[in-house]
Chains A and B, each alone.
Chain A
Amino acid sequence: MGTLLTAEHKAWIGREEAPVHVEVSRRDIIKYAIATEQTLPKYLAGDEAPPMFIFNLFGALRQVSDMRHDGLPRGTGSGPKLPLQRVMAGGTELILSRPIRPGDRLTGVQRIVDMYEKEGSQGPLIFTVRSLRVTDADGQPVLEEIQTAIAR
């Protein structure tokens, strides 16, 4: 155990990424609501975004030439290159101060808060835990997220 992550990897823990700015459109909310088969009118009309609309909202937008064979961006988003390359979403924790609405101009700041290894049933796993703090144009909190990505 504990042989995959080096001091260089661990040095990423605590580093804050450059802020990412996102403008939320009603149309994007509606697309998400349709794709996820929402039933509440406020989501289907795009008046408000469902809680999980946040997933990858602040993700890197890379050129096609900067994508790996598996379709994911080179590197692992915000973080070091890992010795395990097959990545899946592990889960999320959200604290919601208010809903996201169309016209919101949001700022997201990500930070790696932990990296650790575990032995899974089919081999080693690397867990990367990121925090995301989202504020609105007035600097008021919108949400905080702790998200885990698992590399195998």
Chain B
Amino acid sequence: MQINELKVGDTLPERHHTPTNVTLFMYNAAVWNPHRIHYDETYTTQVEKHPGIVIDGPLQGDWLAQCVTNWAGTDGRVLRFSYSNRRATYLGETMVSGGRITSIDAQNRKVSVELFIRNAEGAVTSPGSAVVELFR
């Protein structure tokens, strides 16, 4: 991928994400997060009054980061990344990550992208953005 091949509005590949109890367990173990809303359904629904096990916001942040790193591959590196956790999502849901190019700085080989996690209803649950430096 070279910067002169890109244009504003180009989309990044979309990916579906359907976390399971097992993947949430592994994620929370990997980041050392013992918060019960991510593995204890009785506690989560009865005490914290969520409709189900809560999918970690930072995990969705990771999916957004992956949207960029997978797209850039070995052709670039992420300089800036941000996401915002706007709406809770729950075990059993399937989300879609994706994005599009919002600006291109050809002189400095920098590309800005906006990112999204969308739920099955099409609502954006986590928006994000990134700046990537391309090597060519």
B-binding residues in A (CB < 8 A):
28, 31-32, 34-40, 43, 50-52, 55-57, 59, 61, 67, 69-72, 86-96, 99, 150
Number of interface residues of B (CB under 8 A): 41
Residues of B within 8 A of A61 (CB): 32
Interface check B66, CB cutoff 8 A = yes
Nearest to B31 among chain A residues (CB) is A56
Report A23 CB to chain B, min CB distance, Å: 15
Greatest chain B CB density within 10 A among A35, A39, A67 is at A35
CA distance A69 to B17 in the complex (A): 30
Residues of B within 8 A of A69 (CB): 47
Residues of B within 8 A of A51 (CB): 62, 65, 69, 78, 81
Residues of A within 8 A of B65 (CB): 50-52
Tell me the dominant secondary structure on chain B's binding face.
mixed
A34 lies within 8 A of B26 (CB): yes
A35 lies within 8 A of B23 (CB): yes
Q: List 8 A-B contacts (CB under 8 A).
A: A36-B59, A38-B66, A39-B70, A50-B65, A52-B81, A56-B31, A70-B35, A71-B34
Asked if A55 meets B61 with Cβ closer than 8 Å, knowing A31-B26, A94-B81, A96-B81, the reply is: yes
What is the 8 Å Cβ interface bit string for chain B, positions 54-71, against chain A (1 contact, 0 not)?
101111011101100110
Asked if A91 meets B36 with Cβ closer than 8 Å, knowing A50-B62, A96-B78, the reply is: no
A32 lies within 8 A of B35 (CB): no
CA distance A28 to B26 in the complex (A): 12
* B31 in complex: contacting residue of A40, A55, A95, CB < 8 Å: A55
Residues of B within 8 A of A88 (CB): 54, 57, 85, 88
Nearest to A34 among chain B residues (CB) is B26
Residues of A within 8 A of B84 (CB): 90-91
A72 lies within 8 A of B34 (CB): yes
Nearest to A72 among chain B residues (CB) is B35
CA distance A51 to B128 in the complex (A): 13
Nearest to B128 among chain A residues (CB) is A91
* A36 in complex: contacting residue of B27, B79, B83, B85, CB < 8 Å: B27
* B82 in complex: contacting residue of A40, A43, A59, A94, CB < 8 Å: A94
* B66 in complex: contacting residue of A34, A39, A87, A91, CB < 8 Å: A39
Report A101 CB to chain B, min CB distance, Å: 13
Asked if A90 meets B85 with Cβ closer than 8 Å, knowing A40-B69, A50-B66, the reply is: yes
Contacts A50-B69, A57-B31, A91-B126 aside, 17 further interface pairs with beta carbons under 8 A come to A32-B30, A32-B31, A35-B26, A36-B30, A36-B59, A40-B69, A40-B70, A51-B69, A52-B62, A52-B81, A67-B34, A70-B47, A87-B35, A90-B84, A94-B81, A95-B79, A96-B77
